[in-house]
Amino acid sequence: MVEKTIKEIRETEQKADDIIAEAKKQSEQLLENAKKEAHNLESGMIEKAQETAKKTCEAALDAGKKKLEEALKDAGEEIAEIKKTAKSREKEAVDAIIENLV
């Protein structure tokens, strides 16, 4: 009877050791899974931030190009106006030069 009790105690101890080992294994697996998930989340957040930065940069470049095109258009119009004014005053300048020579 004592042997049976000792045997039961040893079996119970072995079961407890097995349960502890399994719990430790599961906790290590859970920790590893959590690390992987955290890494994946971090990578996703970095990728999202890079995509946002890329879109912001592209938008800024587009806005800059648009402003440059507007400035070039305005400059072209101003040049055309100056040429028009110069052309209209060309006859006056020629007449003034001729008058001074005579």
In the chain, the percentage of residues whose pLDDT exceeds 90 is 72
For tokens 């989340």, what's the residue?
41
For tokens 């030069």, what's the residue?
97
- What are the tens digits of pLDDT across the range 5-31? 888 899 999 999 999 999 999 999 999
- Rounded Cα distance, 98 and 102, in Å: 6
44 pLDDT band, cuts 50/70/90, is very high
- For the record, the structure tokens of 30 come out as 């859970």
Q: What is the pLDDT of residue 5?
A: 87
**Cβ count near 54 (within 10 Å):** 10
Taking Cα atoms as reference points, which of 75, 73, 94, 71 lies closest to residue 83? 75
Burial class (CB in 10 A: 0-12, 13-18, 19+), 64: exposed
Q: What is the pLDDT of residue 96?
A: 82
Q: What is the pLDDT of residue 70?
A: 96
Mean pLDDT of 70-83: 95
